[in-house]
Amino acid sequence: MNTKSMGLAVITGASSGIGAVYADRLARRGYGLLLVDPNKERVDDLAKQLAADSRRNVEILTADLTNSADLAEIEQLLRDDPRVTLLVNNARVDTTASFLNSEVIDVSRLIMLTVEALTRLTYAVVRAFLKRGSGTIVNLGSILSIGSESPYTIFGSTNAFVRAFSQSLQHDLSNAGVKVQAVLPGATATNLWNAAGTPVKHLPLKIVTPLTEMVDTALASLDQGELVTIVSPPDAREWQNQEATCRALLPNLPCGVPAAKYATSALEG
């Protein structure tokens, strides 16, 4: 266990699952912790356990990121607390319901957590990091952000924002000393699957990543300087090839001249 202080890591959605494992691993690495979660009893129990195991300072903030007052409180803390060196945006709602079978209030909550809250917390902390010339932001997304034909329309689409936003931010901060990592796990063995409507036990075993292995892989990837982490790619070159194709395609897209096939169709119409 690292005895050197690494500053304060703020983790949202911290009381269980991915967030709880991040908390354990970061405490072992030398971070003090601020655990943000709406479940006071569960996050308090975790904080006591982590403080006893790691002998690190562990604070809690009971907050619901879909509540505007709670969100504003965390934004202010990220802007003003000089101890903060790492933000893990992990608060999320997983769903396996199709768009047409979802309630609009559930869709709105998913968008609020995955898009608005993540963006606002990142905006708050990145300004503080820029002043210091250092800091790390970890945004938890999903492998479903890559495919445009995900069966989980809103879940896949909002996580596509997480990936695109993180990659754009990486470009903006490339020379600022601030790291931004997008973590794109596949199916991970957490209890969120139960709430989403498809328990883990109903998934094919071969596609499920054990929880601790998922987080350990993401942290190892961060150590290696990777900006986008696909936790369990069959072949890492496939992602590299896709990225290279996108980079090659983009400069040729805004050419100012419509494609010939559209001009032909217009004349025929």
CA distance 107 to 133: 37
Q: Can you tell me the mean pLDDT for 41-66?
A: 96
pLDDT tens digits along 122-152: 999 999 999 999 999 999 998 876 865 555 6
Mean pLDDT of 188-200: 52
pLDDT at 35 over 70: yes
CA angle 74, 43, 9 (to 5 degrees): 50
Residue 178 has φ and ψ, to the nearest 5°, of: -110, 130
* Higher-scoring residue by pLDDT: 59, 188: 59
Q: Would you state the pLDDT for residue 5?
A: 83
Torsion angle of alpha carbons 92, 98, 100, 104, nearest 10°?
Answer: -10
Whole-number pLDDT of residue 193 = 45
In 65-129, DSSP assigns E strands to: 84-89
Nearest to 65, CA basis, from 98, 95, 86, 87: 87
SS3 state of residue 173: coil
Residue pair 56/27 in contact (Cβ under 8 Å)? The answer is: yes
Geometric angle at alpha carbon 129, from 5 and 74, rounded to 5°:
85
Class assignment of domain 8-238?
alpha beta
The pLDDT score that the predictor gives to residue 154 is: 79
Burial 88-127, CB ≥16 within 10 A → b, else e? bbbbbbbbebeeeebeeeebebbbbbbbbbbbbbbebbbe
Res 150: pLDDT: 58
Q: What is the pLDDT of residue 258?
A: 72
Decide if pLDDT at 1 tops 80: no
Ranges of each domain in the chain: 8-238
- What's this model's pTM, rounded to 2 decimal places? 0.84
Looking at residue 11, what DSSP letter applies? E
Provide the pLDDT for residue 243: 63
pLDDT at 78: 98
pLDDT at 72 over 80: yes
